[in-house]
Each structure stands twice: as structure tokens, then as C-alpha cells.
Amino acid sequence: MQPKIQQTINFIRNYYQTEDFIPLHAPVFNGNEKAYLNECIDSTFVSSVGKFVDEFELKLAEYIGVKKAVVCVNGTNAIHLCLKLVGVEAMDEVITQPLTFIATTNAITYANAIPVFVDVDKDSMGLSPKSMLDFLKRNTEIKNKTCYNKNTGRRIKACLPMHTFGHACRIDEIKQICDDYHIELVEDAAEAMGSKYKGQHLGSFGKLGAISFNGNKIMTTGGGGVIVTNDEALAKQAKHISTQAKTPHTWEYHHDEIGYNYRMPNLNAALGLAQLEQLDQFLESKRQLAKEYKTFFETHNIKTFEERTDEQSNYWLNAVILESLEERNLFLKEMNAAGVMTRPIWQLMTRLTMFQDCPKTSLKNAEYLEERVVNIPSSVK
């Protein structure tokens, strides 16, 4: 084993004070979780109706700084609903990035749309406004305030950037491009709860944003997600279609459009409310860990991924950038063999059979990061 890998293992074990298996990111339940869950069970309102759903939505909207929040079963269906709500239809194109978790592109296909992959920026790992603008200038035309891909004839209806590991992409520049080209902006902020860019919470720049509360996220509801927006009409529609599009009535069953069973249960919301109460503590702990990782890895000439100017990252998953694919693979092999969980960044979506024929730009930055980025243990201590 290389000395620097052994020293990394020793550092992480010392930080977490354990010789046991160290996961990539484990949830922490040190607050009112059990009390709220017991209260929820005692109320018998454990499904999608109950006081914890309402309170969780109100508190989330307040924390994120938006008018409305609509909680869902998971972050993937939150993205799906966002795309539906901004008018994405069958055979539309949606601009996104190839370096992302598959949920991003799966949600596009749930809407029967086609992803268009543009490159990322090396210093954000998120969708590159330069790559996006270059693609649009070369390949699109505007007709009746609608953007069309000249090569495919399809409408480009939306853009879906993802904030990787809680680090902000250049979302303000992306928003300006979307406005100029009449493209709807939806943010995949699945990993970005608590992250801000220029003082504004991620997920709140676009018309709609989606955040995940999966078990491995910075705060969790078990499974779960939320749609956030400043458009109250869209929020009302989101709640409606996420509840099977059932119209209100004391006893009658009437549904006025195709709906989805996407509403978060009261049990999950109870857990989430307790987690939200601790989020600032989680953020402080994770930022301290990122600082300690930076200091340690600098002594071994390994680069850690850091937030940029004007960004306040939640550091959901800390990442190191290694020199080559060979070094990355050795690091992964030795760390995992020692019981310290590490994971590579995702395989590019364009390498997957389902998406390999989709439109794309040059992806040199995404390919560079794919070969070098590794996530290391990032749990709250």
C-alpha cells in the first residue's frame, strides 16, 4: 500500500475515532426524531395527510427563502414533476450535464423528453454556461419565442443543471442564457440543501427546483424530496398532481387530469422536520471536516474540491482530484479494502446505452473529472 493512502486511512479513522467500517455518508439522529415520529404514530396520520407535512413544507420554504415548498416521495419524482410543470412534453429536448447521478436524466425520460448533454466546468463540476451558450449559438434558432434545435427540429424546452456534491454551478449565468433563449430553468439541487450562491439558496434561481432527502443526504426523511418555487400557482398545481390530481370533496372521488402518487407521508415529514432543526449544526460540522481534509491532503500534494468565491457549499460529499485514472483506481481499491468507503464520481451518462445517442457537445472537462474524482467519507461527526 502506498504510504499516502495508508496515512489517509489513518487520518480518517482518527477523525471518526473508529476501527470499524466507515461509510461514505451516514445519517445522524440527535434531535427530536423519535419524539416527532411517536407523535405522528399516536395521531394515526401516518400517510400523506398530517400536521408534519404542512409544518415541514412551511419551514423548508422559510429556510430556503422561497414562497412555497411541496414535499414528495423522493428527489427524482420532484424533478419529474418540475419538468412537467414547466411544460416539457414528449420529444422536447432538455439541456443537462453528462456528469451527474442518473436520476437527473431518468427524470427527463419520465417526461418522454430527450436529454442534450453539454460539458461541465472543472471548478464547479456543474453545467458550463460557456459550453451551453456555444451549443445554442451553433445549433439553435428562435421562432415565436421558442428555441428549436436546427439539427433535430425538436423544441428545446428546459435546462436542468445539477449542483454537484452541493457545489454551485454558475447558475446566474445559466439563468441569463435561459432567459435569452426562452428556455425554462429547473434546478436539480438534489445534493445542495443548505448550499448558497451569492447569498441565495440553490434551487431558488430557476422557476422550480428539486432537493433530495434520501438517507445519504445532508439531512434525510428516509426517502423524500421537495419542489421549491416562488410561483404560487405552480406550487398549487404541484401539490394537486402529486396527489393523484384528486379534486377536493368530502366523499366523492373525482380526478381532473393524470396525476401521480408522489406525496410525502407524514411519517417522513416528521423525521425531516427534526432533521431541519439540526441542519445548521450539520453544515458547520461538514465545513470543518472539509477544512481538515484540505489541510491534510495539501501535505500529500492531493487536491481537494473546494467552494469558489461567492459560494457557500454544504460540502455534502468531500472529493479529492487524483492525477490519473490509474491513481484513482488504486486509491479506490486500497481504501475500500481497508474498510474506508470511497466512491468514484459517476460514469458519464453518455456512456450508458440508454443515452449514448443523445445530442452532446465536446465533453472534455467531464471526461477529465470522470477519471480523477473520488468521494471520501463525509458523515457529520
Tell me the pLDDT tens digit for each residue of 121-157: 999 999 999 999 999 999 999 999 999 999 999 999 9
Q: What is the pLDDT of residue 99?
A: 98
Is there a domain that residue 37 lies in?
yes
- Structural domain that includes position 305: 3-28+279-347+372-376
8 and 114 part of one domain? no
Q: What is the pLDDT of residue 272?
A: 98
Amino acid at 260: Y
Cα 102 to chain centroid, rounded: 11
Q: Give the single-character DSSP code of 141.
A: E
Q: Report the pLDDT value the prediction gives residue 160, as an integer from 0 to 100.
A: 98
What cell does 310 get?
461567492
pLDDT in tens, 314-356: 999 999 999 999 999 999 999 999 999 999 999 999 999 999 9
Identify whether residues 165 and 274 lie together within a single domain: yes
Are 156 and 246 within one domain?
yes
Residues 236, 310, single domain; the answer is no
19: domain CATH number is: 3.90.1150.10
- 48 touches 263 (CB < 8 A): yes
Instruction: For residue 303, list its beta bridge partners.
Output: 321
Do residue 177 and residue 71 come from a single domain? Answer: yes
The pLDDT of residue 244 is above 80:
yes
Distance between CA 3 and CA 280 in Å, rounded?
Answer: 36
Percent of residues, the chain, with pLDDT higher than 70: 100
C-alpha cell at 260: 401521480
Residue finishing a domain among 278, 303, 320: 278
Residue 1 has pLDDT above 90, yes or no: no
Burial class (CB in 10 A: 0-12, 13-18, 19+), 127: buried
Average of per-residue pLDDT across 40-60: 95
> For residues 353 and 105, is the Cβ–Cβ distance under 8 A?
no
Residue where a domain stops, chosen among 224, 250, 278 = 278
In a domain, 354, yes or no: no
| pLDDT tens-digit series, residues 69-127 | 999 999 999 999 999 999 999 999 999 999 999 999 999 999 999 999 999 999 999 99
Q: What percent of the chain has pLDDT over 90?
A: 98
What pTM did the predictor assign?
0.96
Measured CA to CA, the distance from residue 32 to residue 241 in angstroms comes to: 31
Let me know whether 167 and 311 are in one domain: no
Position 352 in a domain: no
What nine digits make up the cell of 198? 451569492
Residues 295 and 164 placed together within one structural domain of the fold: no
**Number of CB atoms found within 10 A of residue 160's CB:** 29
CA angle centred on 374, ends 373 and 376, rounded to 5°: 145
> Is the separation of the CB atoms in 175 and 129 below 8 Å?
no
Residue 281: the pLDDT is: 97
Q: Calculate the average pLDDT of the chain.
A: 97
